[in-house]
Amino acid sequence: MPENYFATRMEGLKPSAIRKFFDIAATMQDVISLGIGEPDFDTPAPIVQAGVQSLLAGQTHYTSNVGILQLRQALAAHLQRLYGVAYAADEIVITVGGSEALYLAATAFVNPGDEVIIPTPCFVSYQAQVHLAGGIPVEVACKMENNFEVDPRDVEAAITPRTKAILLGFPSNPTGAVARRETLMEIARLAEQHDLLVFSDEIYDRLVYGGSHVCFPALPNMAKRTILLGGFSKDYAMTGWRIGYAAAPAELLKGMLRIHQYTVMCASTTAQVAATEALLHGDEHVRQMVAEYDRRRKLIVAGLNQIGLPTFEPRGAFYAFPKVSDTGLTDEEFASRLLVEEKVAAIPGNGFGAGGEGHLRCSYATAYEKIEEALRRIERFVNRL
Ligand code: PMP
């Protein structure tokens, strides 16, 4: 074997900080995991049944590359109903999770050397996908004093002649932050002024608490330069089905579609049928899950603050993002010792990019009673420090 048999684009692709932690936790007994980035709920039964029925009815074949028409139509109607944004069915491609949608955006639009501005802390795949496309991720740190919302002035300062796109991820993994309309309007102004694309990952769009989600392409003049990335994993508890979508003006979608066609052909047929059911009849299930997440959110945020770990109130997704650096430990030290000494798994914030340093990602997509017990253990740990 030649020494460097990996392609050069692999250089700089670091192992995920999240995986590393899971690997350690998996070897231990009685661990309470606040490390999980997926719903603890199973997919609601009627959605599962729709998938099963489709298999029994012989829908075991490929679909068209873009995805089944009924699903794309249901999605267009859904986005119109919830956010007032108008997409035609042929401006939507059904993908293998939001992950593939992100991959298509990065590969279709980012040239080697292009810069993509990414507010961090963010989902671990953002930098990696831009990097794999040959682009340069340019991180802009979101700050706790701004409730981890991106500051448009920082974005503006990061724009150079090589900037191609801004990659937004609100509601945010790992902070739970949402972005307000006025902030997004500022980003929109910058995108217009500098002729940038916006990749807007809105996979947590329905998991918001006490407010309403602002869909980026619904802002004036933004649909034409936005690639909307979405999915079913979080809102409908469908992570294992691997189903998501990208929506963009037909001219832009065309390029993404070509890559999609040559890489995956089409998303899973079963998952597409189930996702259609989710859109048509899933609202009540979403409402119930959101209500339960909200209960846990209040518990964990109050609990962490009371323990003395400053935690801002997250308004979206299912993560709390306490600051742990006041304890004198780094986020890595805090997370490793908490895991070994008290068997609570949470993810060090620095794994999510520069803005995450000194924090811990605690997912509350786990049972209420487990969160109560985790808080008792964290309190014991902090009191010992
Ligand atoms: N975006 C964000 C912000 C995420 O947190 C995730 C999953 N952790 C994804 C995209 C990808 O999700 P999926 O591929 O399951 O749709």
pLDDT in tens, 48-100: 999 999 999 999 999 999 999 999 999 999 999 999 999 999 999 999 999 99
Listed by start position, the domains of the chain span 3-43+284-384, 59-281
Q: Write down the pTM of the prediction.
A: 0.96
For 107-156, write each residue's pLDDT tens digit. 999 999 999 999 999 999 999 999 999 999 999 999 999 999 999 999 99
> Looking at domain 59-281, does it have CATH number 3.40.640.10?
yes
Nearest-atom number in ligand 1 for the CA of 37 is 8
* Dist. CA 98 → ligand 1 center (Å): 6
The CATH fold of domain 3-43+284-384: Aspartate Aminotransferase, domain 1 (3.90.1150)
pLDDT above 90: residue 378 = yes
Find out whether the beta carbon of 97 lies less than 6 Å from any atom of ligand 1. Answer: yes
How far apart CA 150 and CA 294 sit, in angstroms, is 23
* Dist. CA 24 → ligand 1 center (Å): 22
pLDDT at 3: 64
pLDDT at 19: 74
Considering the chain, what is the average pLDDT of its residues? 96
* Dist. CA 384 → ligand 1 center (Å): 36
* Dist. CA 107 → ligand 1 center (Å): 17
Find out whether the beta carbon of 201 lies less than 6 Å from any atom of ligand 1. Answer: yes
Q: Report the percentage of the chain scoring pLDDT > 70.
A: 99
Nearest-atom number in ligand 1 for the CA of 204 is 3
136 beta partners: 115
Find out whether the beta carbon of 169 lies less than 6 Å from any atom of ligand 1. Answer: yes
